[in-house]
Amino acid sequence: MPTLPLSPGSTIGILGGGQLGRMLSQAASRLGFDVVILDPEENSPAGRVSRGQIVAEYDDPTALTVLGRVCDVVTFEFENVPAASIERLAEAGALVAPGPTALAVAQDRVDEKTFLNAVGATTVDFVAVDTLDDLTAAIQHLGTPSLLKTRREGYDGKGQVWIRDAAEAEAAFEAIAGRPAILEARAAFTRELSIIAARSQSGEIAVYPLGENTHTKGVLKTTLAPAVTDAATDARAREIAEAILDGLDYVGVLGVELFDIPGQDGQAGGLLVNEIAPRVHNTGHWTQDGCGCDQFEQHIRAITGWPLGATAAHARVEMTNLLGDEIDQWTNLSAEPDVRLHLYGKTEARPGRKMAHVNRVRSLA
């Protein structure tokens, strides 16, 4: 295992060569690190701005051994990394961050919600579903509407189906191909917030201000940050983030999606955790133009054993994703003085594909 903190000139490996890997690589190079990407797609967005790329599958044993040997620390831009891949990287001598526990928890929605509730980060009620009978019983327990999701994989609204009536159980179970699943009660939330937080190798924690998110067809469209909130909500969100980070003995940046539940009928409202992502997160892109140390540099600082950077906002930022052919808006956007462009270098603008984001920067006041 390498000695921490890692010196500039050390090499960081990243599994995944998409836009998150690209922005992590750019942040790492600002701090003087070299970066090697592992991604099966040649000339990936991240590979193009890095020292090198190994073109191979994420479970290719030889590729993982090579990556583990040339890198001092290895991290990833997505959570569905096979546990065996992590083991092989560690065997080859690389530090891996975040660690296998955080990944395992985040890969299974039942394990994730069980963990969250155990550390006091409350979620909606849920029931594990393995069979159609389980599902029928779960619907009776949680009522409708309720949301059926596969336990593993699925993102941006994929692998999930709303059940509005008990009679839809069979169709819903078929829609997810009968895979191991979770049924979640519906949260009566008014808005989705998210909080980005980091924990260092020494257990230091840094938390960014809350962002407020909007979605289109299940895909994040905008984040406004710092969100307009009250002090109690800010404090509760920070408490939730800290409980999760400490509970997972986490190292790196983590994103937490929250439901903001209004108080009603004399009952207090509060925050429920929707899900966590053990990585830099789309709802944290605003930090690039709103904070002294953005989430990408923060992740690199955390995994290399550096002290964490400043998270206070110096501007109010509206982040907007450009999906598919919305990328064609670059000509107009490039002429707007308050817009900061972040393009991912993807050649093919498939419908719904995340091609870029822009941060509109305004004064905090």
Residues that bind a second copy (CB under 8 A): 5, 7-9, 22, 25-26, 29-34, 43, 48-51, 292-293, 301, 306-307, 309-310, 314-315, 327, 330-331, 334-335, 337-338, 340-345, 347, 356, 361
**Under 8 Å CB-to-CB from 117, ≥6 apart: which residues?**
123
Shortest CB 35 distance to a second copy, Å: 8
Rank residues 5 and 100 by Cβ distance to a second copy and give the closer one: 5
Query: Shortest gap between Cβ of 261 and a second copy (angstroms)?
Result: 34
The residues, any chain, with a CB within 8 Å of residue 363's CB and separated by 6 or more, are 315, 316
CA distances from residue 194 to 157, 226, 290 in whole angstroms, order as listed: 17, 10, 15
Least separation in angstroms between CB 12 and a second copy: 12
Nearer to a second copy, 187 or 315 (CB): 315
Residues 6+ apart with CB under 8 A from 312: 209, 291, 292
How far apart are alpha carbons 137 and 39 in whole angstroms? 42
Of 21 and 159, which CB lies nearer to a second copy in the complex structure? 21
Least gap, CB of 45 to a second copy (angstroms): 9
Q: Which is nearer to a second copy, 25 or 160 (CB)?
A: 25
Nearer to a second copy, 236 or 342 (CB): 342
CB of 345 to a second copy, least distance (A): 5
Binding positions are 109, 149, 154-160, 192, 215, 274-275
Please, which residue, 159 or 290, has the CB nearer to a second copy?
Answer: 290
Cβ–Cβ under 8 Å, residues 308 and 291: no
Annotated binding site for ATP: 109, 149, 154-160, 192, 215, 274-275
C-beta of 90 vs 349, nearer to a second copy: 349
Please, are residues 148 and 133 in contact by the beta-carbon 8 Å criterion?
no
The nearest distance, CB 229 to a second copy, in angstroms, is 23
User: In this structure, are residues 298 and 326 in contact, taking their beta carbons and an 8 Å threshold?
Assistant: no
Based on CB atoms, which residue is closest to a second copy, 8 or 157?
8
CB of 13 to a second copy, least distance (A): 15
Whole-number minimum distance, CB 117 to a second copy, in Å? Answer: 35
Question: Residue 165 region, left (φ>0) first, then alpha (ψ -120 to 50), else beta?
Answer: beta
